[in-house]
Amino acid sequence: MPDANRPEGPPSRGLLERLGSILSSEPRDRTELLENLRSAQARDLIDPEALAMLEGVLNVSDMQVRDIMVPRAQMGVVRREAALEEIIPDVVASAHSRLPVIADSRDEVVGILLAKDLLRFFPNGSGETFDMQEILRPAVFVPESKRLNVLLKEFRLSRNHMAIVVDEYGGVAGLVTIEDVLEQIVGEIEDEHDVEDYLTQIMQHPGDRYTIKALTPIEEFNAFFRTAYSEEDFDTVGGLLLSRFGHVPRRGESVAFDGMEFRVLRADNRRLHLVEMRRVGEPVPPVDPVVS
């Protein structure tokens, strides 16, 4: 007896089967392969998200760690000799679950601190003495020339989520996480910096600090902070900041102007997503429009 819940007709083809039919012509090189994939998407054989992921997979095999790493100067770090009460503000400010631990300089990474390992020191009456050496995790070091597809495989096998990047002389060049690699394939992954869609464009925090979505209209930014940036020159806060940076900044980069400092919390290779702003000087008064 036929199953009444089973749809009639042939089952829809899976992605792998569709890819097989697309690639049956055996493309001669990567350029022709991409042309076939894009043609397939134009004919609705695969959706845009699948195409973007396939292109990301192909790109990852060509990219190196240096292409996506967080530079050394922008790494959030913890000093090995720091007391617990000094470490907590750094961990909270970074909003990361893992931080490199350094000795005398950023060139001396001695291990990785997991934020969750600090939790056991806070129950009332625990009486446990904090010792960084006891909770320190070993650091993994990779060359900045390593291919991303190779690094991703190593991350999966070792179950590590972070690696310290070193240059040809053995100096620390930056750091890279498994999330950084995966975002090259699947696009942006929401993390601990993310502001959910149901929240406002501008969020105020204690200490005259603000979290601002890059897509916040300049008009809304002007109204909130009583500034007068041109709505003809920039549609969004992201456009304003890109003009000040002069390039698409990476996470951790900052720029200061007009009494404000902006630090990038989230960005990809194409655009800004989220920034933190804090006052570093006197508020900028509104600029009166020029009367011609």
Regarding pTM above 0.75, the answer is no
Task: Count Cβ neighbours within 10 Å for each residue of 103-139 and write b for 16 or more, e otherwise.
Answer: eeebeebbbbbbbeeeeeeeeeeeeeeeebeebbeeb
User: In terms of domains, do 142 and 231 share one?
Assistant: no
Q: How far apart are CA 266 and CA 158, in angstroms?
A: 27
Assess if residue 273 is contained within a domain.
Answer: yes
Q: How does pLDDT run along the chain (292 residues), one tens digit per residue?
A: 444 444 444 444 565 565 555 555 566 777 787 787 778 777 777 777 777 777 777 777 888 898 888 888 778 888 998 888 888 887 877 777 889 999 988 889 999 999 888 888 876 645 578 888 888 999 999 999 999 989 999 998 988 899 999 998 889 999 999 988 888 777 665 554 454 443 468 888 777 888 898 888 999 999 999 999 988 888 889 889 988 998 888 888 899 999 999 998 877 666 788 899 998 876 554 444 443 3
Assess if residue 167 is contained within a domain.
Answer: yes
Q: Residue written as tokens 């869609």? A: 197
Assess if residue 1 is contained within a domain.
Answer: no
Q: How far apart are CA 130 and CA 198, in angstroms?
A: 39
Assess if residue 240 is contained within a domain.
Answer: yes
User: In terms of domains, do 156 and 86 share one?
Assistant: yes
Assess if residue 90 is contained within a domain.
Answer: yes
Residue 245: domain span = 202-279
Assess if residue 192 is contained within a domain.
Answer: no
At position 270, the amino acid (one-letter code) is: R
User: In terms of domains, do 173 and 263 share one?
Assistant: no
Assess if residue 242 is contained within a domain.
Answer: yes
Structurally, how many domains does the chain consist of?
3
User: In terms of domains, do 164 and 243 share one?
Assistant: no
Assess if residue 214 is contained within a domain.
Answer: yes
Q: Residue 249's domain is classified under what CATH number? A: 3.30.465.10
User: In terms of domains, do 136 and 216 share one?
Assistant: no
